[in-house]
Amino acid sequence: ALSSFLEAMRFDLMGKKITVLDVHPGFVKTPMTEKNGFMPWLQTPQRAAELICRAIENKKSRLYFPWQMLVLNYCARVIPNVLFDFFMRLSRKKVEGFREGRDKGL
């Protein structure tokens, strides 16, 4: 929903020298994520800031980082809902296992 809002805002602001950047980050190492378990493709805050600043400088409309997030986003849009729901349930069990201090090995 937020991406759709930003896309609409981008079109509304065309020609006004204002760019809108829709950022789709992966995991960024912060105090909030310190205790998390499995976080693939973890980025440092410095790297995340570099990528975002470069996207702003280049007037990009959308940024996915790391590149694997783009692939995951695309797959989530094209696979059938039943498969998407299945994978979300699996990932939810994995996250709940880490929150409880154990890895269920999914």
- Whether the pLDDT of residue 105 is over 90: the answer is no
pLDDT in tens, 28-52: 999 988 888 778 889 999 999 999 9
Task: Enter the tokens of residue 86.
Answer: 């299945």
- Whether the pLDDT of residue 94 is over 50: the answer is yes
Distance, CA of 87 to CA of 12 (rounded, Å): 36
Residue 98 pLDDT: 58
- Whether the pLDDT of residue 15 is over 70: the answer is yes
Cβ atoms of 104 and 93 within 8 Å: the answer is: yes
pLDDT in tens, 56-93: 999 999 999 988 888 888 888 888 989 888 888 887 77
Global pTM reads: 0.68
Letter string b/e over residues 81-91, b meaning 16 or more CB atoms within 10 A of that residue's CB: eeeeeeeeeee
